[in-house]
Chain A
Amino acid sequence: MADPNQTKRVPTRGPMLETPRRNAILKKLNARPTVRGSAIALAVLMLFVLIAPYFAPQNPYDLMALNIMDGRLAPGAESMEGGRYWLGTDSQGRDMLSAILYGLRISLLVGLSAVVLSTLIGSFLGLLAAFKGGWIDTAIMRLVDFILGFPTILVALVLLAVMGRGVDKVVIALVVVQWAHYARIMRGRALQERRKEYIEAAQNLGFPAWRIMLFHLMPNCLSPVMVFATIQIATAIVLEATLSFLGVGVPVTEPSLGLLIASGFEYLLSGDYWISMFPGIALLLLILSINIIGDRMRASLDPR
């Protein structure tokens, strides 16, 4: 054990000890990245996905660029023009790599918009329910219970059957189903925070109710909602992929990863695996990275 009488002098005040076990423990502590690190990682990922299509070798939606003679080519095959289809082509002659890059963007856009809208709507309603109480609280919470009582896919299917296909309609369906979670989380946290004395102090200072709700209560209830939202991006993407796979999601002209997987389904057994598998792997990687980052963020935001 280190000599206890040797205290190291440091530029800042206070005696500090040198101990052999110190470094091992420090390494363990540094394994947890900060919230800022996670947020940056997430932003970079999203940026990449959003601009990636500009680097795609082909625009898979431009029907003029497609050559049906290039259909169902295996990965690595050469195209008619001399380029290479790195991940093969689908039955229409679309380059899988390009289709995946475009599809990733659609998936991410749908996931993000659904989450942002759900967060806004759900948080506001949850906050209102907690702050006002009474019949408003009861009404909103019973609605939340009602929505959460149904399987998500079922509700989305019904809505899309009514509304028809389209990226915007998919987002609407996702929002209608998802906002209830946020409302519940926000309300739970807001009920706790509302009892705290700084809210009473704000009332004592004669601030109007809306001011207290928006500037005092809400900022302090955001963190559990933010954490949940990060995870929900992945969930929304999977949901959209499922709906598209079932054929009720995005239209064929703007295929997302789910639709790509679906379109390749019938060819799986005949050996043209790449049409379904590569979009599937891309989807998996996207969700995995979002989940890992979200998980890190959650661990850092919960230091207690």
Chain B
Amino acid sequence: MSQDKTLLDVRGLRTAFHTEAGAWPAVDGVDFTVRRGEIVGLVGESGSGKSVTGFSLIGLIDPPGEVVAGEVIFDGVDLCKQTEEQLRKLRGDRIAMIFQDPLMTLNPVLKVGEQMREAIFTHYPKTTRKQADARCVEALEMVGIPSAATRLDNYPHEFSGGMRQRVAIAIAMLNQPELIIADEPTTALDVTIQGQILYQMQKLCRAHDTALIWITHDLGVVAELADRVAVMYAGRIVETGTVDEVLSAPRHPYTRGLLDSMPSTAEPGQRLHQIDGMAPTLAGREIGCAFRPRCPNAIARCAEVPPENTVEGERSYRCYVPLVQELV
């Protein structure tokens, strides 16, 4: 249910980590957009820089990391130029974040109700206690937690892992944000619980027209949940497009390789297609295209200059020798 209005426009984002040897870009020039109410999957393996991208959007990068370039334009305002004070006003109100470990969101020594009320009072101090409690109960019920009113008095450890994550989602949704950034929220959860969480997220985003950036390594989840997908490799986005375009007819060899390596796409008992080699470390990236050492189609040019972003209608990719399979 997306309108055409762009909510988030990321241009040229670069986040570097300073070490004794030098400053290495974990995020190396990332561009993507998110429309209102749209669900965008940000997909990559470990070391691709997807989580760092998510943190960089709202200024959660601490030294030795640093956002060194780029613009993050949220509803017309460049977040990279905002002060910490201004960013704090946005976080939890218009932009919310959900982490992989719910105990990063939840304070283990505070009751859940207290934390939820704090989230409300911080941004809307005029709310009465009664109103706040009502909103909290409503939020918990929305994420499917039974006996919500009594559970407000529970501590986080009294919830199971899946329920904790649901509480984290409830807190994120409390002030009806326009954008939620979710960093691998279901990676550590069982598959049936993941299904419940995905159901809640989908329902809430549709109901409130909330945009969602879902950071994950799981292409299957992205396929089922997202509208558009961006694939990251070694700090750069190598391909974007609608889920259908990218997953059925990918342009970039890495995306193709990923899809082919998945057992669910292969014939049982046959050798899986594998991408040889490993993803480069932060300091070991190629000067040209980072994927070149593992790419079956590499040409000479790939080793010299990183490919520019080629735009093809709604989709884009960075490759000198893109795959040209068409959508059926």
Is the C-beta of A15 less than 8 angstroms from some C-beta in chain B? yes
Contact for B29 among A4, A8, A16, A30, CB less than 8 A = A4
Shortest beta-carbon distance from B14 to chain A in Å: 6
Is B287's CB under 8 angstroms from A17's CB?
no
Q: Which of A19-27, A138-146, A229-237, A278-286 is near enough to bind chain B?
A: A19-27
B35-88 interface with A by 8 A CB criterion: 63-64, 66, 68-70
Is B25's CB under 8 angstroms from A17's CB?
yes
Is A15's CB under 8 angstroms from B23's CB?
no
Is A16's CB under 8 angstroms from B12's CB?
no
Inter-chain CB contacts under 8 Å: number: 65
Contact for A14 among B63, B68, B70, B286, CB less than 8 A = B286
A153-175 interface with B by 8 A CB criterion: none
Is the C-beta of B313 less than 8 angstroms from some C-beta in chain A? no
Cα separation A22 to B24 with both chains bound (whole Å): 11
Is A10's CB under 8 angstroms from B22's CB?
yes
Q: Which residue of B lies closest to A21 (CB)?
A: B66
Is A12's CB under 8 angstroms from B283's CB?
yes
The size bracket of the interface on A is 20 to 34
For B63, what are the chain A residues with a Cβ–Cβ distance below 8 Å? 25, 28
Is A19's CB under 8 angstroms from B66's CB?
yes
Is B25's CB under 8 angstroms from A25's CB?
no
Cα separation A8 to B24 with both chains bound (whole Å): 11
Is A2's CB under 8 angstroms from B287's CB?
no
Q: Which residue of A lies closest to B65 (CB)?
A: A25
Shortest beta-carbon distance from A62 to chain B in Å: 53
Is B20's CB under 8 angstroms from A4's CB?
no
Cα separation A49 to B14 with both chains bound (whole Å): 53
Is the C-beta of B285 less than 8 angstroms from some C-beta in chain A? yes
Contact for A15 among B12, B20, B66, B287, CB less than 8 A = B287
Is B18's CB under 8 angstroms from A14's CB?
no
Cα separation A18 to B16 with both chains bound (whole Å): 10
Cα separation A28 to B66 with both chains bound (whole Å): 15
Is B12's CB under 8 angstroms from A25's CB?
no
Contact for A25 among B29, B64, B70, B283, CB less than 8 A = B64
Is the C-beta of B209 less than 8 angstroms from some C-beta in chain A? no
Cα separation A21 to B18 with both chains bound (whole Å): 9
Is the C-beta of B183 less than 8 angstroms from some C-beta in chain A? no
Cα separation A144 to B276 with both chains bound (whole Å): 55
Most B Cβ at <10 Å: residue of A10, A16, A21: A16
Contact for A13 among B20, B22, B25, B286, CB less than 8 A = B286
B241-272 interface with A by 8 A CB criterion: none
Q: Mark A248-273, 1 if CB is under 8 A from B, else 0.
A: 00000000000000000000000000
Q: Which residue of B lies closest to A17 (CB)?
A: B23
Contact for B287 among A14, A21, A29, CB less than 8 A = A14
Is A15's CB under 8 angstroms from B25's CB?
yes
Q: Mark B8-28, 1 if CB is under 8 A from A, else 0.
A: 000010101011101111001
Is A16's CB under 8 angstroms from B287's CB?
no
Contact for A17 among B12, B64, B68, CB less than 8 A = B68
Is B24's CB under 8 angstroms from A14's CB?
yes
Is the C-beta of A80 less than 8 angstroms from some C-beta in chain B? no
Cα separation A26 to B14 with both chains bound (whole Å): 19
Is B285's CB under 8 angstroms from A14's CB?
yes
Is the C-beta of B284 less than 8 angstroms from some C-beta in chain A? yes
Contact for A29 among B28, B29, B64, CB less than 8 A = B64
Of the A-B pairs whose beta carbons lie under 8 Å apart in the complex, a sample of 22, sorted by A's number, is A1-B69, A2-B68, A4-B12, A4-B14, A4-B29, A4-B68, A4-B70, A12-B283, A12-B284, A13-B286, A14-B283, A14-B284, A14-B286, A15-B28, A15-B285, A17-B23, A17-B25, A17-B68, A19-B66, A25-B63, A25-B64, A29-B19
Which 7 residue pairs are nearest across A and B when measured between Cβ atoms? A4-B69, A16-B22, A14-B285, A17-B23, A25-B18, A17-B16, A22-B23
List 15 other contacts, CB 8 Å, given A14-B284, A17-B23: A4-B29, A4-B68, A8-B22, A15-B28, A16-B22, A17-B24, A17-B68, A19-B16, A19-B18, A19-B66, A21-B66, A22-B22, A25-B63, A29-B18, A29-B20
